[in-house]
Amino acid sequence: MQLVVARIGRAHGIKGEVTVEVRTDEPELRLSPGAVLSTDPAGTGPLTVETGRVHSGRLLLRFEGVRDRTAAEALRNTLLIANVDPDELPEEEDEYYDHQLIDLDVVLADGTEVGRITEISHLPSQDLFIVERPDGTELMIPFVEEIVTEIDLEQQRAVIDPPPGLIDDRAEIASARDAEDAGHAEDAEGADEAPDAAPGTDAGTGRADEDAS
């Protein structure tokens, strides 16, 4: 299986180095010296990593045969692609590659269907499952242990224990609106029963004014 592991950015210096936008959790494995990578566009590669180093928080790579700034700049925006065994797992326990999570069914502990994972969003603070529900709407589910309680690759499913509001937010909003409408109806009824109540109190127009504000 081929996976995009990085995108080449601008040239750095005059000796052929380039910055790269890393798209793998294991750059030390996928982008290490000696790694041979396919490319998109295909005519640019394959490229063999000659050296790598971190500079000001960014990974810099030099490829075999790329010796000057002009050659490095010609690689800009090229995608680097690694060949990965589809059954391979990350070195760390309880970690997964994106392709292993895409298309997993998302269910509650009792088996209730929630949807299907269509994308993994990698944010600085955490990863998110983008889940398509049966009605076509999307949910974002944080990939954290407290919420995603089990990943079962054999059964092709992810079991979640969502906190209140995570997957039923629309129902809660509708319920809140119903409660608000009921409150307005109560206030109107109170106004009929107590016509002498002064404006600005909790009875009659006072409550309605507060709600409207």
Structure letter (DSSP) for residue 32: S
Q: Kindly provide the residue ranges of all beta strands, DSSP E only, lying in the chain, ordered along the sequence.
A: 2-12, 17-22, 36-40, 47-55, 58-63, 79-83, 105-108, 113-122, 127-132, 138-142, 148-152, 157-160
Tell me which residue has tokens 């969003």. 121
Residues 28, 59: Cα–Cα separation, whole Å: 10
Bridge partner residues of 201 (DSSP): none
pLDDT in tens, 70-123: 999 999 999 999 987 766 666 666 778 788 899 999 999 999 999 999 998 877
Provide the pLDDT for residue 170.
44
Residues 167, 196: Cα–Cα separation, whole Å: 46
Q: Which two structure tokens, joined as six digits, stand for 37?
A: 């990578």
pLDDT in tens, 42-58: 999 899 999 999 998 88
